[in-house]
Structure 1
Amino acid sequence: MSRHIDLAVIGAGPAGARAALEAAHRGLSVTLLDEQPKPGGQVWRAKSAAILDAPPTPETEAGNRLRQSVQDSRVTHLGEARVWQIERAEDGWKLHVLRDGRSSPLRARALVIATGAREFVQPVPGWSTPGVLGLAGATALFKQDLALPGQRTIVSGTGPLVFFVAAEIRRLGGAVAAVITPNSRGDWLRVLPGMLQRPDLLARGVSWVADLMLAGVPIHWRHAVSAVDGGSAVEAVSFRKLGADWTPTGEARRMSADSLCLGNGLIPTVEAAQLAGVELEHCPELGGWVPRHGEDGTTGVPGLFLCGDGAGIRGAAAAEIHGRLAGLSAAQHLGADTRAERARLHPGYVRAARFGMAMTALSTPRAGLAQLTTEDTIVCRCESLTRAAIAAEIAGGANSTNAVKSGLRAGMGACGGKFCQTAVARMIAKAEGRAESDVPPPTARPPLRPVPVAALAGDFDYFDLPIPRPAPL
């Protein structure tokens, strides 16, 4: 893989793939890298071969169009490729890519990062029980395998994803025991002006809720899951009513179920941008910490461009246009004149982003949500660290996410902190009376993603080392 190209794009979702296509259309050599085998990302994930004949959905149709466009273009797509290190080079960028068990470099004059988002789940007692899935993880099951999380599922979380997941479970023949959401009907009414930017998507969301109501599925507005019961599998879920700031109130109610889909919104995946040298800023309206960037994907780092949910949660429609803008900006950097095309795309991007940010607003956390995490609740699943252990570390002087990571290894497991660092940062802010904007994420370090030592060793073989004879006594 060691070669020089004009543009490398990390992430083949709606944003990254569109960025690659725009640049390739202007005669540039472009390589598109993604950990999934096929383009589409999480939102337009490709179906497995076993279900290709299944009835299409809007997501699969959009993904198929994107995949066909990439296949018909000059873009070189490398699936099942993991970028684990990003370095500046004299002539642009050097990426270290793990593929087929080997790590090799890829050099590019410019770089687009479109790493998408990850899901935040507020830790509650029992949330690591087998049978508990993230809302986003559940959508991956639906789109790729048409698989159900269980036979009787409770769906809980914020924003539109909770209703999409519940509707998909029913469409695939599963039973939804209940929908539990911290949002109130009033929350939805407040974001209605932004939703009117996309009446087609608004109508689709209304159809999900209507289907659930007609089927008699109970919807518990302004409630949240407070505990999961079960040993080797989910047996029941407890939930509580929430106050205006999402503080749990009243007695817990219990409902039997064999699975739970749980999520509290999306967070931009910013580690690759951090490693590449982009500064972060805290923007709650975009999902939290985001890399500094322009609406056309430009950054303060020459030759580096950002797009999609990794630059702020604005939704798939905005991500696709943002990707085109970033690809055009990269092409401009490499010598093409794309100013007119970017100006033409900009109004559509603004409209789509307004809708997406209205949806993001529904998942903006409120202070009381953290009270769902009890003292003995596991917060860092990789290291089995409880809230009490982390709180003790903070009380002992660990006043940054880097300090907690250093002292307890929180964030040093296989997930790289993706499941715990947001909760840890909020614990620090709460304990010290600081704003969340004063507690940034940990410093990004390579490897960005897990990489086997054997891949780093390359062709090295221990047994080929010359072993000197023992020294004489």
Structure 2
Amino acid sequence: MSDRLDLLVIGGGPAGARAALRAGACGLSVLLVDENPDAGGQVWRPLPVTFSRRNDAPLSAEARAGDALRRELRDAGIECRFGHKVWNIGSDLRCDVIGPGGSVSWKPRAILVATGTTERVVPFPGWTLPGVIGLAAATILLKSQNMLPGRRTVVAGSGPLLLAVANGLLKAGGEVAAVVDLASRGEWLGTLPSLLGHPALLLQGIEWQWRLRSARVPVYYRHAIRSVSPQEGGFKVLIGPVDAEGAPAQGGAHAHELHADAVAVGNGLVPGTDVTRLLRANHRFERRLGGWIARSDDDGRTSIPGLYIAGDGAGIAGAAAAGSHGEIAALACALDQGAIDSSSHARERAPLAARWARSARFGNTMAALMALREGSVRGIAPEAVVCRCEDVTRAEIDAAVRDGARDVNQLKAWTRCGMGPCQGRTCGDIAGGLVALQVGSREAAGCFTGRAPLRPVGLSEVAGEYTYADIPIPKAAPL
């Protein structure tokens, strides 16, 4: 790679890959970095290189789209560093990265962050047990490992991933004990207007519903898991009805027992803001877009010069919209660096913006369906673990706020919530919701301050190979 690096793209999903392709086409020198083995992100995740497809196995639409994207990156000659983790970024945009060959750093003129999302799970007693996994993890097992999470699985939570996982389990030969959906039938019917412009998605939804009915899978609308407990051969899953805000329903509503050997649960997605919080970009809270997101203009420019965001990390809009958003941000970067003029920018941007608006309408509707409900947070059991890295319960969080912790960063200092290997990616949204119940708003509760390392890294990886003789020893001060 040449000494000149105009743009470093973090994330090889639809947004990041399309951004790299568009920036390269505009004449920028581009480097795409992703910690996964290849491009595609979560939605277009490829099989591991050691796996091979059966020749007679039909490719899904997602697999075809992912293969096409990876082929396009190769054909365009975009330099990619897969299996590389960005663990630190300085205020001068210097990126420190750990890869198979050790530590390496780049200092690009601009950074485009397309790090996607983290799955949210509203905690309940038993959610940390082995065999209880996220919907996204179940998707990885099905798509990337050709593996079932269990023989008989309860699928629970909210959003379209519920139906996708349940159908994936059935297609792979598994049994779905039940689908436990936080939303009501009416809420699902309310999404139909946004689907009318996407007939393929509408047909897919109909097909999913038909397959569930054919397999006689019970679907519990406006229900949630109350607890999971071990029993011989699997789990006892206690579910119960909830109100429109997600809180356990009152008035004598009875819980119902399910039995399974695996549970897949997910309550929507949270935008990935690790990098933007580390660099102290301005953020705002948008519940319907997933939570905290960096403030940006319509072209992905943040409050930090040279820092751009794209895709679901800028607000949940779905995979279909992410690619267009990535290209829009790449065009803005090319314009800002003088690689294209304003007339070329306007001409190329217009069709991308129109395509993004069509796709984002559906994506935003699904994001609203998956948005965290205050009642769900209020209904978390006191004994439920919220921060699984540091084993901090809801009761301990409530006690800390009553004792004077006024925002999540003070909570973090008092309880260690968010200090584990995940750096709050798993618990941060829920912890913020719990603090907000007592301090009045999510804005008052705040979000965790970004810290390095962004990903867990070993000291040996950072330090490299050296001996004590390599350590510089300063001269002794004069007496």
**What is the number of equivalent residue pairs in this alignment?**
464
1:51/1:146 contact within 8 Å kept: no
* Partner of residue 462, structure 1: 468
2:4/2:29 contact within 8 Å kept: no
2:378/2:434 contact within 8 Å kept: no
1:404 has 2:411 as partner: yes
Matches within 5 A, 1:56-135: 56-89=59-92, 93-100=93-100, 102-135=102-135
* Partner of residue 366, structure 2: 359
CA distance in 2, matches of 1:238, 1:101: 48
* Partner of residue 182, structure 1: 182
CA distance in 1, matches of 2:409, 2:356: 36
Change (3 A) 1:372 1:124: farther
Matches within 5 A, 1:279-358: 279-335=282-338, 336-337=340-341, 338-358=345-365
The alpha-carbon deviation at position 233 of structure 1 amounts to 7.7
1:2/1:105 contact within 8 Å kept: no
Q: State which of 452, 456, 463 in structure 1 corresponds to 2:458.
A: 452
In structure 1, stretches of 5+ residues that fail to align are 469-473
CA distance in 2, matches of 1:14, 1:199: 21
1:442 has 2:448 as partner: yes
Amino acid at match of 2:399: A
1:153/1:176 contact within 8 Å kept: yes
Superposition TM-score, scaled by structure 2 size? 0.93
1:223/1:239 contact within 8 Å kept: yes
CA deviation profile, 1:21-66 (whole Å, cap 9, x unmatched): 0011122211000000100011110112324334311111110000
Q: State which of 264, 268, 275 in structure 1 corresponds to 2:271.
A: 268
CA distance in 1, matches of 2:468, 2:175: 55
- Tell me the percent identity: 42
* Partner of residue 477, structure 2: none
* Partner of residue 471, structure 1: none
Partner SS for 1:153: strand
**Superposition RMSD in Å:** 1.9
CA distance in 2, matches of 1:173, 1:115: 32
1:137 has 2:144 as partner: no
CA distance in 1, matches of 2:227, 2:469: 53
* Partner of residue 52, structure 1: 53
1:237 has 2:237 as partner: yes
* Partner of residue 278, structure 1: 281
Runs of 4+ that moved beyond 6 A:
none
Amino acid at match of 1:140: I
Q: State which of 410, 431, 448 in structure 2 corresponds to 1:424.
A: 431
Amino acid at match of 2:381: T
The alpha-carbon deviation at position 460 of structure 1 amounts to 2.9
CA deviation profile, 1:95-123 (whole Å, cap 9, x unmatched): 10111262221111111110100000000
CA distance in 2, matches of 1:362, 1:111: 31
The alpha-carbon deviation at position 463 of structure 1 amounts to 6.2
1:34/1:78 contact within 8 Å kept: yes
Change (3 A) 1:390 1:377: same
The alpha-carbon deviation at position 3 of structure 1 amounts to 4.5
CA distance in 1, matches of 2:123, 2:101: 34
CA distance in 2, matches of 1:84, 1:384: 24
Query: Which stretch shows the higher mean deviation, 221-230 or 294-303?
Result: 294-303
* Partner of residue 173, structure 1: 173
* Partner of residue 383, structure 1: 390
* Partner of residue 226, structure 2: 226
Partner SS for 1:254: strand
Partner SS for 2:133: strand
1:123/1:372 contact within 8 Å kept: no
CA distance in 2, matches of 1:187, 1:465: 63
Query: Which stretch shows the higher mean deviation, 50-59 or 66-75?
Result: 50-59
The alpha-carbon deviation at position 466 of structure 1 amounts to 8.8
CA deviation profile, 1:256-301 (whole Å, cap 9, x unmatched): 1000000000010111112233211111121111111123222232
Amino acid at match of 1:334: Q
CA distance in 2, matches of 1:277, 1:22: 27
2:411/2:417 contact within 8 Å kept: yes
1:234/1:260 contact within 8 Å kept: no
The alpha-carbon deviation at position 467 of structure 1 amounts to 9.8
Amino acid at match of 1:175: E
